[in-house]
Amino acid sequence: TFQTFKNTTYNIIGYIWPMLLTLFITPMVIFSLGVKNYGIYIFINTILSLFGLLDLGIGTAVCKYMANYYGKKDDHAISVLTHTANSLFLLIGIAGIVVAVAIAIIGPHVLQGQSTAYAQYFPLIIIAGAIFFVNTIDGSYASILLAVQRFDIANVIGIMSITASTFGLLVTVI
């Protein structure tokens, strides 16, 4: 009962904290960037979010099988699954970088009238691909925490990661 209450509490905090942080940080980012650059920022974040579709449900499958093997106490199967998941997430991360580079290269040709303005955003799209890569390669380890129902640890790591990236964004923008 205590573990259920603890996991529920961390899930609620993990859900509410990013919203509160976003409500606090977003006005500062908008005023620092201006409306046009904030729109570009949102566009790049949207691209980054869409990269998440490259996962194809592998994260959920890893979590399911990890929980199954953990319940059976099959350490060998857990090891094999972790290695396989690491390889798959690495390939997905590489695919994300390739897609980001393709978008960055093809973008000026699609937006021919805006190619000079677009050129300054080229590195940002590449950085978005790199961020996706870094976020993806830890997918199997994030699944382990969920599979063994350690939502407290997973949420604390998530909260720290979101807080660090949000404040990193704010410092970069300012």
Span 90-118, pLDDT tens digits: 998 898 888 888 887 887 777 666 655 66
Instruction: Report the distance separating Cα 144 and Cα 41, nearest Å.
Output: 32
41-90 pLDDT, tens digit per residue, is 777 777 777 777 777 788 888 889 989 999 999 999 989 998 998 999 89
Q: Cα–Cα distance between 96 and 74 in angstroms, integer? A: 32
Whether the Cβ atoms of residue 114 and residue 165 lie closer than 8 Å to each other? no
Give the separation between CA 91 and CA 89, rounded to whole angstroms.
5
Q: What is the pTM of this model?
A: 0.73
Report which DSSP code applies to 121. Answer: T
**Identity at 56, one-letter amino acid code:** L
